[in-house]
């Protein structure tokens, strides 16, 4: 079968794959790192200027915070998979329709989220606080701003994934740097200057996101992007919703699993930490932010793989899709090694950036070193999941991304402490990483047996139906 290339110039469809992947991934990874600085900066300001209890209060609502991120990903990631393939096939009208459909769907999800918070979310905060009213009050203040600011967060997430699929990762990175600097400035004024505490942290983040939205609107209206902010198409706004949700569900469930895991960790700390509860919660808050910061670049590698593979798959350039996967796997392995070494040797000085309390620092170091013991496996598997996601093979992507949390981590959080005490909570992570590797090997073996395209697809004469989605 001959390669079919989109008539529209597409930066993903030509040139050596190695430089293309690095050129695409680098700004996305930078953007992810910059985005991760949101939580890092917030935690540092809260821990040093307000105190460990403020950090503990924000940590209590981390599970709900991650649930919000999961809902955002549900729409944005599903949209990106479809958008990349339509852009690769030269279907600009269809791509525009998908973007607008995703925007409307995200606003609907945000409304449902607000309703959930007003009915059940507040009660969850009271439960996590273990009867500490002052801690619960701070947590509720922070969370209210997060929930009611979610429409802005959702729209920014969608527009960011759209710009990535349009071949504008550098623009994304530039916006990310600007927003992070704005967040630092707002936090300094609101927390250090005005003394607004956890409310200042939340408001500062929302204000920074508003800056990002302003830049995106300007770019769209000025015609500097392939897709417009909005224009009339021949498609219904709800037409793409089922496919967006189907493709966005695996990565969304992955973040939902992170939310559930965080909630289970907090419950486990309440059970196993004894009188050390406040210290353990604050330490977990530091560890979770460091781990989130380390994880976000993996999303960058995953997204880069999705964008290049999706566009080339849409253009029927299957050999380039294969080479992109191999490059991504090698890059991910190098990143995993770097992260593991950084946390083994640098955990203590890094943790000391957040608080001055030696007990909190020691506990944070203890947690981080155990949780990252098998981190070298995580990055390549995230890239592999992105490959399957780009092809529209949601079930294969789900098996890799969801198996770790739902098959291994959640049960182990409750089982291992009975054997190893509080340390068993943190041992669940590296054991789950090993389990995820076993699942990935199984998926690849099964895929090889019935494959039809690409590196794992021997017969290139058949294009699977997912391409038309």
The token pair at 443 is 């998926």
State the Cα–Cα distance between residues 249 and 73, nearest whole angstrom. Answer: 8
Angle of helix 318-351 versus helix 277-314 axis, rounded to 10: 160
What percentage of the chain reaches a pLDDT higher than 70?
Answer: 92
Of the chain, the percentage scoring pLDDT greater than 90 comes to 20
Beta-carbon neighbour count of residue 120 at 10 Å?
9
pTM for the model: 0.74
In a domain, 321, yes or no: yes
* Per-residue confidence (pLDDT) for residue 467, from 0 to 100: 38
pLDDT above 80: residue 425: yes
Q: How far apart are CA 364 and CA 212, in angstroms?
A: 32
* Residue 192 domain-assigned (yes or no): yes
Q: If you average pLDDT over residues 305-329, what whole number do you get? A: 83
In a domain, 13, yes or no: no
Domains: count for the chain:
1
Most confident of 111-120, 187-196, 247-256, 407-416: 407-416
* Mean pLDDT, residues 1-21 taken together: 66
Cα separation, 37 vs 29, in Å, equals: 12
Other beta carbons within 10 angstroms of residue 181's beta carbon come to: 14
Higher pLDDT, 468 or 414: 414
Structure tokens at 368: 């981080």
Is pLDDT at 454 greater than 50 in this prediction?
no
Average pLDDT over every residue of 406-429 = 93
Domain, as residue range, for 218: 23-468
Question: With 50 as the cut, is the pLDDT of residue 145 above it?
Answer: yes
For residues 217-244, give the mean pLDDT.
83
Choose between 395 and 187: higher pLDDT. Answer: 187
Q: Measuring CA to CA, which residue among 171, 167, 185, 164 is closest to residue 216?
A: 171
Nearest to 230 by CA among 106, 101, 336, 351: 101
In a domain, 216, yes or no: yes
Cα(410)–Cα(425) distance, rounded to whole angstroms? 10
Query: What is the mean predicted confidence (pLDDT) over 61-82?
Result: 85
d(CA 305, CA 145): 34
- Exposure b/e, 313-337, CB count within 10 A at least 16 = b: bbbbbbebbbbbbebbbebbeebbe
Q: What is the pLDDT of residue 448?
A: 63
Inside any domain, residue 14: no
pLDDT tops 50 at residue 112: yes
User: Domain for residue 87, yes or no?
Assistant: yes
DSSP, collapsed to helix, strand or coil, labels residue 89 as coil
Residue 462 in this model has a pLDDT that exceeds 50: no
Q: Copy the structure tokens of residue 383.
A: 């890239």
Given a cut of 70, is residue 51 above it in pLDDT?
A: yes
DSSP-derived 3-state class of residue 6: coil
Mean pLDDT of the chain: 83
Is residue 57 over pLDDT 60?
yes
- Would 352 be classed as within a structural domain? yes
Q: Considering only 7-16, 207-216, 255-264, 367-376, which range has the smallest mean pLDDT?
A: 7-16
Q: How many CB atoms lie within 10 A of CB 148?
A: 16
Q: How far apart are CA 223 and CA 395, in angstroms?
A: 37
DSSP state of 465: G
Establish if 267 belongs to a structural domain. Answer: yes
- Lowest mean pLDDT across 219-223, 231-235, 243-247, 415-419: 231-235
């Amino acid at each position: 079968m001959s390669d079919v290339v989109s008539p529209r110039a597409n930066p993903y469809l030509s040139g050596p794959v190695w430089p293309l992947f690095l050129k695409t991934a680098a700004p996305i990874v930078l953007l992810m790192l910059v985005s991760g600085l949101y939580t890092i900066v917030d935690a540092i300001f809260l821990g040093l200027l307000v105190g460990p209890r403020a950090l503990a209060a924000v940590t209590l609502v981390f599970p709900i915070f991650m649930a919000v991120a999961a809902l955002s990903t549900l729409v944005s990631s599903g949209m990106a998979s479809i958008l990349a393939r339509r852009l690769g096939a030269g279907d600009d009208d269809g791509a525009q329709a998908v973007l607008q459909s995703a925007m409307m769907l995200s606003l609907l999800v945000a409304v449902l989220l607000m309703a959930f918070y007003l009915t059940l979310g507040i009660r969850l905060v009271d439960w996590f606080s273990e009867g500490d009213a002052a801690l619960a009050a701070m947590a509720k203040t922070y969370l209210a701003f997060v929930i009611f600011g979610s429409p802005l967060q959702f729209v920014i997430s969608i527009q960011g994934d759209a710009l990535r699929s349009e071949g504008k990762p550098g623009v994304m990175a530039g916006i990310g740097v600007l927003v992070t600097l704005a967040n630092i400035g707002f936090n300094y004024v609101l927390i250090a200057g005005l003394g607004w505490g956890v409310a200042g942290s939340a408001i500062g983040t929302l204000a920074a996101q508003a800056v990002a939205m302003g830049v995106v609107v300007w770019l769209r209206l000025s015609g500097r992007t392939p897709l417009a902010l909005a224009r009339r198409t021949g498609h219904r706004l709800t037409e793409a919703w089922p496919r967006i949700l189907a493709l966005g569900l695996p990565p969304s469930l992955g973040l939902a699993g992170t939310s559930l895991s965080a909630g289970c960790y907090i419950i486990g700390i309440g059970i196993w930490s004894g009188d050390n509860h406040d210290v353990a919660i604050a330490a977990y808050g530091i560890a979770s932010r460091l781990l989130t910061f380390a994880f976000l670049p993996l999303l960058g590698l995953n997204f880069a793989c999705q964008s290049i593979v999706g566009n080339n798959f849409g253009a029927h350039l299957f050999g380039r899709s294969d080479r992109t996967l191999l490059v991504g796997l090698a890059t991910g392995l190098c990143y995993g090694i770097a992260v593991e070494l950084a946390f083994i040797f640098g955990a203590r000085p890094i943790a000391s950036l957040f608080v001055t309390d030696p007990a909190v620092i020691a506990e944070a170091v203890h947690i981080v070193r155990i949780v990252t013991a098998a981190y070298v496996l995580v990055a390549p598997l995230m890239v592999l999941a992105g490959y399957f996601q780009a092809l529209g093979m949601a079930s294969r992507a789900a098996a890799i991304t969801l198996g770790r949390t739902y098959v291994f981590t959640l049960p182990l959080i409750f089982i291992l402490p009975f054997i190893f005490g509080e340390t068993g909570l943190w041992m669940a992570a590296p054991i789950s990483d090993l389990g995820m590797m076993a699942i990935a090997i199984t998926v690849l073996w099964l895929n090889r047996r019935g494959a039809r395209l690409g590196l794992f697809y021997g017969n290139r004469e058949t294009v699977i139906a997912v391409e038309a989605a």
